[in-house]
Structure 1
Amino acid sequence: MSAANRDRRDGRGGLMKALVVNNEKGGVGKSTIAVHLAWYFAERGNRVLFLDLDPQSNGTATLAAHASDIDAAALFARTVAVPPMASAGIRVLGGTAALRGIVAVDGKVIEQFRSNLKDASHAYDIAVVDTPPTFGVRNLAALIAGQFVLAPIDLDDYAIDGIETLLKHILGVKQKYNSDLEFLGLIPNRLQTTSPRQRNNLNSLVQRFGTKYLFDGVIPQRSSIGEALAEKKPVWRLSKTAAREAGREMRAVFDKLAIRMETA
């Protein structure tokens, strides 16, 4: 275990699990998955720290009820004391325009972020980190400080073309900077089960990369997920039958993910 992760201990003797949701392409549903992960882990009795490193701040807007006075950009700039949580819930360090100024790959900036995340871990069980759709210092810092990374993908042709670069960056960070980083896999999101093109793309993905880099599960396209985001609640909390089915599908995927994280 690296020093970074060995020191990331909480007050109860456990290890905070830092999960990075990462892809270098916009429109793949990263924030949708990230906010649902935050709700999911909080409902399982965890103290969840949600970091929004994307200045578009979609995750911040959805989880506005849980916002902190501290924004995510501050973690790169100075030593920050993130208020602890005594019980299960979510605390959001939101995305702001200030993140746009964090662009230079600077070792001190990355170390400041890592140090702040380590210090915050004493009072949290799970950190969910939503990243911007371009690879830069914020993505790099998240991968260096994180323990797990999940990569949502959209099964259109352009997304497939970018997967090789995505894997190169993730596995490169693991090899050079964070040997404890565990790649949970590529997870097809918003899968249109009736689309021959998407099914063909999924088959091509398996043939090109094998099952080694694919997460064991997919999240289908469901209109109720968008409705839930508009209401700022998890899809499984909507009363519609279709929403409950979408919630079962998503939670089944998250259950597998949680088991992977618990046994690591």
Structure 2
Amino acid sequence: MQTIVINNQKGGVGKTMFAVHLAWFLAEAGARVLVVDLDGQGNASSVLQGERRAFPSADLFEKKAPAKLVGEAGITVLYRDERLHAIELGHVPYMIKHFAAFADAFDYCVIDTPPTWGARNFAAMAVCDQLASPIELKDFAVEGVKQLLGSIQNVEMKGRGGRKIDFLGLVASRFNSHSRRERGNLEALIGAVSTKMMVPGVVTARDAYEQAMSDRMPVWAIKSQGAKTAATELRAILTHVRDRMVAKKKDQA
């Protein structure tokens, strides 16, 4: 199982939109996809409420082992409940242990994380193979990236025994191509981190993405010209992410 964490320590950047579309994208090819919603807002759980539901994600952080998971083609969701807000660092070892038991049941796991740093983010990064970070091109974007990279290094040393996280890169999200400021911020960000840390392409600010989340369906399932344009740009990005995950799996084989 290849596990990817979608993380940004800031809300409103399109993190959940990206996570659920990645799950839909992987599942449409027949893969067994596990989605773990660790965000207390539960937006991924809500959008994916029509998918197969297993048990609350907070069960992973309990001392007692959660129910056994049987992987099936399509999406299986570990959904949000109120207990997520009480998760502390002392619960993280339980999550790492329980999560390892799912490795052979699924092909992919997508973990949606909360926008503020804490035990749930630490746990997600501790168990992941890859990490992708949607980021808005607002002012101070570079400072946010520095914070993210610091968190990655912290988890690598304290939660992974020095084992590196495969950082797929930053995903330019909700990008306003008509904004001179945002275009300048994108150029500044690329200059600061290099193109190697950027996932190719941008997710443009489009109403179609909001409609997709509201209608609880992939943007490519919506029959409008705007949605078709959005689908083209997003699927190109998701294809790159999937290919990186597949390559990583082959390297580990």
The TM-score by the shorter chain falls in which range? over 0.9
The question of 1:256 aligning with 2:231 is answered no
Please tell me the residue identity of whatever aligns with 1:154. E
Alignment match of 2:104 (pick from 101, 105, 122): 122
Query: Which position in structure 1 is the counterpart of 2:171?
Result: 187
Aligned partners of 1:18 and 1:146 also within 8 Å = yes
Aligned partners of 1:67 and 1:93 also within 8 Å = no
- Paired with 2:157 and 2:94, the residues of 1 have a C-alpha distance of 21
C-alpha displacement of 1:177: 3.3
The question of 1:84 aligning with 2:70 is answered yes
- Paired with 2:68 and 2:235, the residues of 1 have a C-alpha distance of 29
Q: RMSD across aligned C-alpha pairs, in angstroms?
A: 1.4
The question of 1:203 aligning with 2:187 is answered yes
Aligned partners of 1:67 and 1:94 also within 8 Å = no
C-alpha displacement of 1:175: 4.3
Query: Which position in structure 2 is the counterpart of 1:12?
Result: none
State how 1:41-120 maps to structure 2 within 5 Å.
41-77=26-62, 78-86=64-72, 88-102=73-87, 104-106=88-90, 109-120=91-102
C-alpha displacement of 1:159: 3.7
The question of 1:150 aligning with 2:132 is answered yes
C-alpha displacement of 1:85: 2.5
Query: Which position in structure 2 is the counterpart of 1:173?
Result: 155
- Determine what percentage of the aligned residue pairs are the same residue: 37
Question: Any stretches of 5+ residues in structure 2 without a counterpart?
Answer: 249-253
Aligned partners of 1:189 and 1:221 also within 8 Å = yes
TM-score if structure 1 supplies the norm length?
Answer: 0.89
Q: How many residues align?
A: 245
Question: Which secondary structure does the structure 1 equivalent of 2:117 belong to?
Answer: coil
C-alpha displacement of 1:68: 1.9
Question: Any stretches of 5+ residues in structure 1 without a counterpart?
Answer: 1-15
- Paired with 1:185 and 1:156, the residues of 2 have a C-alpha distance of 17
Aligned partners of 2:15 and 2:134 also within 8 Å = yes
Aligned partners of 1:25 and 1:133 also within 8 Å = yes
C-alpha displacement of 1:262: 0.9
C-alpha displacement of 1:210: 2.1
C-alpha displacement of 1:80: 1.2
Aligned partners of 1:18 and 1:128 also within 8 Å = yes
Question: Which secondary structure does the structure 2 equivalent of 1:24 belong to?
Answer: coil
- Paired with 2:190 and 2:76, the residues of 1 have a C-alpha distance of 37
Taking a change above 3 Å as real, the CA distance of residues 114 and 180 of structure 1, as seen in their structure-2 partners, is: same
The question of 1:137 aligning with 2:98 is answered no
TM-score if structure 2 supplies the norm length?
Answer: 0.92
Aligned partners of 1:81 and 1:120 also within 8 Å = no
C-alpha displacement of 1:244: 1.3
Query: Which position in structure 2 is the counterpart of 1:5?
Result: none
